[in-house]
Amino acid sequence: MQIVQICRRLARKSPREILWKGFSALGETDWYWKIHSAKTDRTAYVIGLYGSGRDYIGELIQRNLGPRSKYFRSVSGDLRMRRVQTSMIYSGHATIKYPSIGQASPEVTNALIQAARSRTADLIFIYRHPVDSLLTNWIWGLQMDGGSTNPAYVSQIYKNIDDLCAYLQQNFSNFRAFAEGDPLWFKGGRAPRFLSFQEFVEETELFRQVATLALRLEDFTVDPGKEFAKIVEVISANGDSSYSRIDPPKAKPYKFLAVRKKVPEFSDFLDGLSAETKKSIESCGYALGTAEDQVLR
Tell me what the mean pLDDT of segment 277-289 comes to. Answer: 93
* pLDDT category of residue 294 using cuts at 50, 70 and 90: low
Separation between Cα atoms, residue 237 and residue 68, nearest integer Å = 7
How confident is the model at residue 32, as a pLDDT?
56
Mean pLDDT of the residues in the chain: 84
How confident is the model at residue 31, as a pLDDT?
56
- Which of these, 176, 178, 173, 162, lies nearest to 259 by C-alpha position? 162
pLDDT tens digits along 135-151: 999 999 898 876 666 77
From 17-26, 157-166, 265-274, the region with the lowest mean pLDDT: 17-26
Burial category of 37 from C-beta neighbours within 10 Å (exposed 0-12, middle 13-18, buried 19 and up): exposed
Kindly state the DSSP code that residue 172 receives in the 8-state scheme: H
Largest CA-CA distance found in the chain, in angstroms, rounded: 75
Q: What is the pTM of this model?
A: 0.84
Give the percent of the chain with pLDDT over 90: 58
- Which of these, 124, 151, 110, 136, lies nearest to 52 by C-alpha position? 136
The separation between the first and the last C-alpha atoms of the chain, rounded to the nearest angstrom, is 65
Could you tell me the residue ranges of all domains in the chain?
A: 38-128+197-245, 130-191+252-295
In contact, 112 and 121? CB cutoff 8 Å: yes
- The DSSP bridge pattern shows strands 89-92 and 43-47 to be parallel
Strand partners, 104: 94
- The DSSP bridge pattern shows strands 121-127 and 43-47 to be parallel
In contact, 270 and 278? CB cutoff 8 Å: no
From 12-21, 194-203, 226-235, 278-287, the region with the lowest mean pLDDT: 12-21
How confident is the model at residue 79, as a pLDDT?
78
How confident is the model at residue 226, as a pLDDT?
92
Q: Which residues contact 222 (CB under 8 A, 6 or more apart)?
A: 248
Tell me what the mean pLDDT of segment 48-60 comes to. Answer: 95
User: Which CATH number fits the domain 38-128+197-245, given the four candidates 3.40.50, 1.10.3470, 3.10.450, 3.30.70?
Assistant: 3.40.50
How confident is the model at residue 49, as a pLDDT?
96
Strand partners, 73: 90
How confident is the model at residue 27, as a pLDDT?
41
Kindly state the DSSP code that residue 125 receives in the 8-state scheme: E
pLDDT tens digits along 152-197: 778 788 888 999 999 999 999 999 999 999 988 987 666 688 999 9
How confident is the model at residue 7, as a pLDDT?
56
Which of 13-17, 80-84, 139-143 has the highest average model confidence (pLDDT)? Answer: 139-143
Q: Which residues contact 260 (CB under 8 A, 6 or more apart)?
A: 266, 267, 270
Tell me what the mean pLDDT of segment 200-219 comes to. Answer: 97
Q: Which residues contact 57 (CB under 8 A, 6 or more apart)?
A: 46, 48, 91, 124, 126, 215, 231
In contact, 254 and 100? CB cutoff 8 Å: no
Give the Cα-Cα-Cα angle 261, 284, 114 (nearest 5 degrees). 145
